[in-house]
Amino acid sequence: MRAPSAVATCLLAACASFAAAQPAARPDLCSGRWQGGVLLPGTRLTVDIDFVRQGDGSCTGDISIPQQNARDLRLKEVRVTRDSLVATIDGVPGTPTFTGAADASGQRINGRFTQAAISAAFELTRGPTPAQLARERLAGFDAWIDSAIAAWKVVGLSVGIVVDGETVYLRGHGLRDRERRLPMTPQTLLAIGSSSKAFTTFAMGALVDAGKLRWDAPVRTYLPWFRMHDDVATLRLTPRDLVTHRSGLPRHDLLWYNNRTDTRESLVRRIAHLPLSADLREKFQYNNLMFLTAGYLVGTLNGSSWEDGLRDLVLRPLGMTRTNFSVAESQRDPDHSLGYGVRRDTIERTPFRDISLVGPAGSINSSAEEMTKWITLHLDGGKLGDRQVVQTTTLRDMYRPYTPIAGLGTAPELGPMSYGLGWFIDTYRGRYRVQHGGNIDGFTASVTLLPNERVGIVALANQNGAALPELLARTAMDRLLGGERKDWNAEALAQRTAAAGGAREMEERKGEARIPGTRPSHPLAAYAATYADSGYGAATVQLERDTLVFTYNGISAKLAHWHYETFSALRNPADPTFADQQLTFRTNAKGQIDAMLVTFDPNVPAVVMRREPPARLREVAFLSRLVGRYRLPTGQMVTITLRGATLMYQQGAGAPTELDPFDGTTFSLRANPQISLEFRLDASGVVTGVRGVQPGAVFDMPRVP
């Protein structure tokens, strides 16, 4: 913005707000938009002023001077008594002062402006309020949305826009159920995905205000058992680090995705076994598990749960009575949306996926109508009526850039992007913007705030990975700000068309990376087993007829041999999560498949999932059958005993050592894993002896009665 001239600077005083209480019969001077000018010698400088009456009775506002390219400059220092005002701009040379009075209607203000030796008349006329002006500027927006929906093959979209405390746009577009032709409404429930993160940080802010949480204390202050994979990060990680994506931990999303067996606490404990890819606070790395930890911390400090804390703090006070935390609950509501996706230009139904386990990072479901209440709470500085739910300073801290993401924006209209506390931070055409998107199976959300302009926009789409919600927010901001407009939609559609061909070509060429003429080194049945890692837990490979099937967290995919010991997952139409996922099996020195390597997160080395023994090798009833005395070829006796559910090996008078189960009836010596023992059973299941294998020797030990 170009700095205003000395004369233009004087005009800033004219926008000083009017704080005196007015008689009930007269309109409040501190409300709405005022338009007019200062009659300087030989020219008239136009001014536009927006006023807002604050809850404490004070008046705030901003002034724009089009001829000086000065926009939304803040007003202060106002003294008002009934229908008159004296306003001085603090900090501007020459003591710029406006002295004026309102006419009988309260719709005009006339007076004198003085600054040093300058004296000139000024006049202001009440214009439309920011909300009224917003409605005018949104004329025709319905048609734009309907056209964009068709272009992007979005089935349905629900939109809410708030300006200056008023909902100026609230409408559903398209369908919430394509098959039954049910319309999308402002009340329709949709998943908001990662837009849930701001709810989690809001709850943390309330705990900070209550003195129960400190942003910069170590997490272990509140969860003494908490550990990261790195000891230094373990000791230094703070609640602020949890929600600013700077922990050093990459996404590791497959740990929680579709996980229906773990608890939140067990997932937080597993973080200790997940490798980091950066140092603490080194760089931005989006991470849902850290937000899961933050939500678990909220529940712990509240003595309840993350869900109960948000119900008490936000949902009930705001009247967000239908907003919930699980797609299972949403489906019980008569006005909920189904989810969809687009594959090769064809709209497909996307099944619901329950992600309530990782709820603090993204499981909230809401409607455009109820989300307007949420954004209004933010635009009002954390205040709900007379209740200050979260201190304004705490809320503003959430909008502060903590973790840099990118330098120059991807377009001239966009400023550098950072991450605050549960919000992305950037600028849009020079305006400070706070926003967060959300994407989860079949749904995309966008929540945008322009705090200084008191503008909030929410767009909820029932399409997976949709570009439209963000494009809608940018288009709406262009209209509401009243300046230059850009056809964001046409630009994005052109980019999509240009990229589509390249993406198809890359997919068609994937086979070029395969080495032809190879085959597996083992029969397929040898690969079938359970494989486990201390961080990611267990995955299974089963042989179904003549095909291997990989399953993790309840998601299955058939495997096709790729090359050597590597297999590639085929696309499962019911759940394509693991399409093209590659798994490499490892063979030990004995020729046994002892591990499976799989890349669950591309930012860290492949996870080594070790082959798990069959369940019966840990069952006392079966192990008891193996207990006994066996004779080595040297004549020395070996005694096998049972300690709990662990077999113990003792050779002669030597010290006993544990036997670790491997597969079938084979165990290895823990003290020397190169030695393996295979218990031999007859047709009736009675142990007859042991076959031993070690480097340079194979031996049999018959059982001694």
Tens-digit pLDDT profile for residues 423-433:
999 999 999 99
CA 473-477-481 angle, to 5 degrees, is 175
The pLDDT-based confidence of 408 (bands split at 50, 70, 90) is: confident
Q: Report the pLDDT value the prediction gives residue 49, as an integer from 0 to 100.
A: 79
Residue 453's contacts (CB-CB under 8 Å, 6 or more residues apart) are 72, 431, 480, 481
Nearest CA to 637 among 624, 646, 628? 628
Tens-digit pLDDT profile for residues 153-163:
999 999 999 99
Asked if the domains 137-500 and 615-704 are classified in one and the same CATH topology, the answer is no
**Buried/exposed code over 575-600 (b: 16+ C-beta within 10 A; e: otherwise):** bebbeebbbbbeeeeeebbbbbbbeb
Percent of the chain with pLDDT over 70: 95
Output phi, psi for 619, to 5 deg: -95, 130
The single-letter DSSP state of residue 313 is I
Mean pLDDT of the chain: 91
Q: Report the pLDDT value the prediction gives residue 173, as an integer from 0 to 100.
A: 98
Domain residue limits, the chain = 6-127, 137-500, 524-612, 615-704
The pLDDT-based confidence of 70 (bands split at 50, 70, 90) is: low
Q: Report the pLDDT value the prediction gives residue 14, as an integer from 0 to 100.
A: 35
Q: Which fold has domain 6-127?
A: Lipocalin (2.40.128)
For the question of whether the overall pTM of this predicted structure is more than 0.95, the answer is: no
1-15, 54-68, 96-110, 524-538: lowest mean pLDDT where? 1-15
15-24, 187-196, 469-478, 570-579: lowest mean pLDDT where? 15-24
Q: Which fold has domain 615-704?
A: Lipocalin (2.40.128)
Q: Which fold has domain 524-612?
A: Lipocalin (2.40.128)
Domain 137-500 grouped into CATH 3.40.50.2000: no
Residue 568 or 128, more confident: 568
